[in-house]
Each structure stands twice: as C-alpha cells, then as structure tokens.
Amino acid sequence: MTNLKVILIVSVVSLFVGYNLYPIVNGDSLNSSYQKTSRSDSAPLSSLDAELSNSTINTKQDNTSSTNETSELSKLKTLNEDFDDEHQSSNEVVSKQKAREIEPTYHEGSLSQELKDWSNTHKKRINTLIDEYASEQTSPFLKDMIEKNNDFLNSPMAKQDADTDINWAFIMEQDIRNVIMQHENSNGFDLLNLTCKQLTCEILGVEREFNSWTDIYVSMLTSLESVKFPEKGKVLNTKSFEEDGFHIIYAKLDFIGT
C-alpha cells in the first residue's frame, strides 16, 4: 500500500513537471515554425504588393502617356483649327481683294454707260431751253458753240462713285443757288438751269443787266469750296450770245474731288 502511494505521487509529480516544462522546451521550435510559416505566408503578399505597385506605376505611366497623347491631339486639333481659320481668313481676304479688283471695273463700266445715257437726255433738255429763248436763226449756232469740245455734254467722265456724286451734286447746287440769290446783281440774272455732275456744274441763264453775270461768276470762283480757278491767261469757261435786249449765258465750273 505504501509503495502504491509512492508510485502515484511520483507519477503525479512527473506529469506536473512535464506539463510545465513542455512549453519551455518546445517554445523555440514553435516560434521557429511560426516564423517560417509567417515568412512563407508573407512572400506571396510581398509579390502581390510588388505586382500591385508595378501595376500602379504602369497605370500611372499609361495614364501619363494617355494624357500626353490627349494633350498632343488637343494641340494638333487646335493647330488644325487655327490653320483652318487662317486659311479661311486668307481666302476671304483674297476674295475681297479680287472683288475689289473686279468691282471698280464693273461699276466704272456701268457708271460710264449711265453717264452716256444721262448726257443724251441732258443735251436734249439744254437744246430745248435754248430753242425757247433763242431765235430760230441763232439757236443752231448757239447749240453748236456750246457742244463744241464740251466733254460734259458729249462724253462725261466718271470722277467719283454714283452715291458720292449724288450727295456732292445736291450740296453744290444748293451752294451755287445761294451765291446767285444773295449776290447784289441777282436781279439782273435769270437762272434757267443748273446741273452738277461728276465734279462739274453747268449753268444756263439769261443776263438781263450788263455785266451782272460776270460779277456773279467771279463771286462763285472766289467763294465756292473746292472750285478750280481758271489758269492764268486762259479764257473763263463761260459763253455769252447776244439776243434782242439780253444775253444767253452758258458756263461751267470744275471742282476738286475730296
């Protein structure tokens, strides 16, 4: 019985000692095994991180490349648009220049024909007025005298465009009428017709008082704006033909264009 107790006590003590010593004895191997397991488990993670990192770098590179390509395409698009705009603008300038080259020729030809038609109508009107105031004997002679070397009646030249000429003629006719009406000898002169066209004004009238027209004519030469004064030594551009008790006057004034 005593021996049995001793054996039981020894067994219990051995189990207790073994139980407490096992962790100490096997701790290093467990740590070693755990470290090995951790290293083996961490290796794929490191590889995955590297792959993800490389993927991120590649993605950034791809994005950068894509951004650069987009930027280059944008620049090319802008350059193309600028080129198209410049090309279109250049074409418009060339077209306008060609239009300017063609347009004057067209308008000059059209205006020349218009002036030719106008001169035919105007000449008939002047001849009608002469017939009313001149005798049958003197009328043909007076018409020939007026028409001789008279470009204004026979072949007027275009010196300014039609719109400018209309405005100029309106203003100048008003100015000439004012000079005649305000002159002290205005009662001695009857204005039959006043026509301004292409920087020339034509006056047809009747002088009832001697030298009344001459004074009025000189007054116009000295007071009207842009009028061409006759060159020294040349006869004044005015003609007078005597009828019974009066003179039929035909005169022209030339002006400088603006």
Residue 189 in any domain: the answer is yes
Phi-psi region at 236: left, alpha or beta (left = phi > 0; alpha = psi -120 to 50): beta
Residue 113 in any domain: the answer is no
- The string of pLDDT tens digits covering residues 33-71 is 444 434 434 444 444 444 434 444 444 444 444 445 455
Name all contacts of 1-6 with Cβ < 8 Å and 24+ positions apart: none
Instruction: In whole angstroms, give the CA distance from residue 205 to residue 174.
Output: 16
Residue 77 in any domain: the answer is no
- Residue span of the structural domain in which 203 resides: 124-254
Q: What is the pLDDT of residue 220?
A: 96
Residue 133 in any domain: the answer is yes
Question: Judging by DSSP bridges, how do beta strands 246-254 and 238-243 pair with one another?
Answer: antiparallel
Q: What is the pLDDT of residue 51?
A: 46
Q: Is-contact 114 162, C-beta < 8 A?
A: yes
Q: What is the pLDDT of residue 193?
A: 98
What's the number of domains the chain is made of?
Answer: 1
Residue 164 in any domain: the answer is yes
Q: Would you say the pTM of this structure is higher than 0.85?
A: no
Q: Which residues contact 138 (CB under 8 A, 6 or more apart)?
A: 241, 243
Handedness of CA 11, 15, 21, 26 (dihedral sign): positive
SS (H, E, C) the chain: CHHHHHHHHHHHHHHHHHHHHHHHHHHHHHHHHHHHHHHHHHHHHHHHHHHHHHHHHHHHHHHHHHHHHHHHHHHHHHHHHHHHHHHHHHHHHHHHHHHHHHHHHHHHHHHHHHHHHHHHHHHHHHHHHHHHHCCCCCHHHHHHHHHCCCHHHHCCCCCCCHHHHHHHHHHHHHHHHHHHHHCCCHHHEEEEEEEEECCEEEEEEEECCCCHHHHHHHHHHHHCCCECCCCCCCCCCEEEEEECCEEEEEEEEEECCC
Q: What is the pLDDT of residue 115?
A: 93
Identify the segments of the chain with pLDDT beneath 70.
1-109, 233-235
Among 238, 240, 232, which residue's Cα sits nearest to residue 253?
A: 238
- In which order are the strands placed within the sheet that holds 238-243? 189-197, 200-207, 246-254, 238-243
Residue 38 in any domain: the answer is no
Residue 219 in any domain: the answer is yes
Residue 183 in any domain: the answer is yes
